[in-house]
Structure 1
Amino acid sequence: LPSILRNPLVALIGESCTVTLVDNFDLLDPNCLRHALSKGLGLGIVLGGCIVKLPQLFKILNSKSVAGISLSSYVLELLANAITLAYNYRKGYSFTTYGEALFIGVQNLTIALLMLLLTGRATLGLAAGVSMLILTYALFDVSLVGGTMMSTLYGLTIPLVISSRIPQIYTIHKNKYTGQLSAFAVFNYFFGTAARLFTTIVEVDDSLVLVGAALAVIANGLLAAQMVYYWNASAPKEK
């Protein structure tokens, strides 16, 4: 295999599995096959995380409306993104097992700020954006947030993930309508979290991360189910 192809592959799945799967063409080796599948899925999730919220962003920009979208859901998810990113980075886990948190977090921040702007709360949006950046910096600084505190905060992201979905789930249930919520984002998020659960089981020996991944699948699954159920529903009539 040419070095231009081999080197990235080695960086992704390691020298040993590259030799096994590529050089020896032993595609039935269970350990390397599972490892390669996990790495491939992880990389795909990270790349998908770069665009998963863009359809939602463009939908808001095109319609100039945030109808049916819960701001609190985005704020809670953004907090979870920041904590997840800092926790996994400080633990030294492979970027392919958590990297989407960075890109999704940036998109969530952009959408949340846009929602505040479109609802006439630009000043609040500016203050919130600056506060979020300061908080994220603090999470990465060991001298400001110690290891025990970091683990505690990550543990709190488990209910936070659920909490971030509840407002959106409730909004849809109340309106019987998905509004400007992007189906692409919802379904991609669901399948992405399902794949992330697999990569966590394979690569990360951390019960906190595993529980968080499992609950994310459940929460996103409920939202995806609502999207299907209310697929053809029309906007509620104003009284």
Structure 2
Amino acid sequence: MTAITKNLPWFVKDLGISIVGSKCYTSLVENLDIHDTECIKYSISKGLGVGIVVGGSIMKVPQLLLIVSARSARGLSLSAYSLETLAYAITLAYSYRKDFPFSTYGENLFLTFQNVIITLLITYYSSHPRSAAIRRVAAATVPMALSAFALVAAPDAPLALLQLATLPLSLFSKIPQIRQNHRAHSTGQLSAFAVIAQIGGCLARLFTTATEVGDPLVSAGFALALLLNCVLGVQMWMYWGQDERDQSGKGRIGTLVEEKPEVWQPQSSQVEVIVPPQSPAPGTPRSTSGRKWARKVD
């Protein structure tokens, strides 16, 4: 078997070396050493990292499609997405500056761009009229651009402090969404796929960070994000289908209201018309009986 694995095509070998490195490729692929636990853990971490990066490129796409198809951002917290976007961008800048492997942070690049679009959509659909919405979206792009420039130009020491600040940012980015779901007893247009994918991604990132990076700041951020995403997952389960039940209840009430006039129709179509007496002609004696004249018209 090793005679085959040692003579694989060059493009397969180059791809394997680029993913797991020359040492682990030789140990696991060419020599088939299944007892090399260090390289096995490293390879699993690399595989998970590549999968997370690929998954991160489409993770928020279902959320985007939900908002656009419904033409509504009901149930989505603008402050939550704004803070979450900032946390993604800080982690992206910090990891890039530290020269971490792209497989350990690459999804933050895609998630940052997707969150920017979602944040602008929330701003657009929560504003009326549409002319005002366009102005608010244009105004929101200015602080986003300034924040991106500040992260690129920031020195290493302030950037490390910003990475530490992602812990409270992650906390405060999820609390508004959790509180809004609790108050409405509904998750609105929140995507279940995005929530479940974030839970799985945080679990995998804890493993890849511990295996390849070992940075406690990054690990703490993923651990806190995992906890809060689990809370959102529980809310998705608790309030699943709540919107449909509410709408069906409203439909039944509306039917009763519409049918009510049919129950209280009048039993007779006769209408009584009061005809006042004509004024007497000049010189005619005025009647003193005070009798009122009435005619019943069918």
Q: TM-score range by the shorter chain?
A: over 0.9
Residues 1:165 and 2:177 aligned together: no
Deviates more, 1:114-123 or 1:213-222: 114-123
Tell me the secondary structure at the aligned position of residue 179 of structure 1.
coil
Residue in structure 2 matched with residue 39 of structure 1 by the alignment: 46
Asked whether the 8 Å contact 1:90–1:140 carries over to 2, the reply is no
Q: CA deviation at 1:189?
A: 0.9
Residue in structure 1 matched with residue 4 of structure 2 by the alignment: none
Deviates more, 1:34-43 or 1:23-32: 23-32
Match of 1:85 among 81, 88, 92: 92
Q: CA RMSD in A?
A: 1.4
Matches of 2:38 and 2:180, distance apart in 1 = 44
Q: CA deviation at 1:131?
A: 2.3
Q: Deviations over 1:29-48 (max 9, x none)?
A: 10000000001101111111
Deviates more, 1:226-235 or 1:90-99: 226-235
Give the length in aligned residue pairs. 235
Tell me the secondary structure at the aligned position of residue 242 of structure 2.
coil
What is the TM-score when the length of structure 1 is the normalising length? Answer: 0.94
Match of 2:238 among 197, 209, 229: 229
**Matches of residues 1-239 of structure 1 in structure 2 within 5 Å?**
1-120=8-127, 121-141=133-153, 145-234=154-243
Residue in structure 1 matched with residue 130 of structure 2 by the alignment: none
Matches of 1:31 and 1:63, distance apart in 2 = 49
Q: Deviations over 1:82-114 (max 9, x none)?
A: 111100100111111111111001000001111
In percent, how many aligned pairs have the same letter?
A: 44
Structure 2, gaps ≥5 residues long: 1-7, 128-132, 251-298
Q: Deviations over 1:145-185 (max 9, x none)?
A: 22111111110011101111111111111111111111111
Structure with larger Rg: 2
Matches of 1:101 and 1:114, distance apart in 2 = 20
Residue in structure 1 matched with residue 279 of structure 2 by the alignment: none
Asked whether the 8 Å contact 1:200–1:213 carries over to 2, the reply is no
Asked whether the 8 Å contact 2:73–2:121 carries over to 1, the reply is no
Matches of 1:88 and 1:196, distance apart in 2 = 13
Deviates more, 1:122-131 or 1:72-81: 122-131
Q: CA deviation at 1:234?
A: 2.4
Q: Deviations over 1:118-168 (max 9, x none)?
A: 223322222222321232122122xxx221111111100111011111111
Structure 1, gaps ≥5 residues long: none
Task: After the TM superposition, list the runs of 4 or more consecutive aligned residues in structure 1 that deviate by more than 4 angstroms.
Answer: 235-238
